[in-house]
Amino acid sequence: MHPMLNIAIQAIRRAGNFVVKQYELFDKHSIQLNYINNLIYKINKESYNIITTIIQKFYPLHTVVNAWNNHNVNDVNYKEDIYWVIVAIDNDVNFIKQFPFFALSISVFIKGHIEIGVIYDPIHNELFSACRGKGAYLNDYRIRVGTVNNLYT
């Protein structure tokens, strides 16, 4: 397994644990909309900080960017070096409505190519991971594309 994949998995699981705790404490009925938006921003920011801290502990020279801060992502020249792109809570609308389908994700770009991808659904404890040329996995089990030729027969 690629060493950066190990770090991505460690980081995303730790941030996922934080997000699940926030999800369990979240009460959409007792707070106002502007407070909810502020709270979601804080949860995204703290999740990003958890992931970034772990990545920079092992790879201090790598660049880590927020995908939820579009300005930051658009300013990156992915062909130059190694970039970690983080989405702290993907589908925060589901989080707010307490519909348990949202995820965290990490992508690692190396010289312009996505080499590593990790998506974690912390509510269902499903971790999807892939490394270029090594296949894709769900919770350490290899996943493959089906071979069905015709779905309508």
User: How much of the chain exceeds pLDDT 70, in percent?
Assistant: 82
For 139, left (φ over 0), alpha (ψ -120 to 50), or beta? left
Is 134 within 8 Å of 122 (Cβ atoms)?
no
Residue 98's pLDDT is 82
Model confidence at 2, pLDDT cuts 50, 70, 90, reads: confident
Mean pLDDT of 23-45: 75
Average pLDDT value for the chain:
84
Mean pLDDT of 83-98: 85
For 140, left (φ over 0), alpha (ψ -120 to 50), or beta? left
What digits encode the pLDDT tens for the residues 52-78?
999 999 999 898 988 766 545 555 565
Q: Which residues of 117-127 are buried (b: 16+ CB within 10 A; e: fewer)?
A: bbbbbbbeeeb
Is residue 20 helix, strand or coil? helix
Give the start-to-end residue ranges of the domains of the chain.
3-143
Residue 59's pLDDT is 93
Residue 33's pLDDT is 63
**pTM of the predicted protein model:** 0.83
What are the φ/ψ torsions at residue 61 (nearest 5 degrees)? -95, -5
Contacts of 125 (CB under 8 A, 6+ apart): 139
Architecture of domain 3-143: 2-Layer Sandwich (3.30)
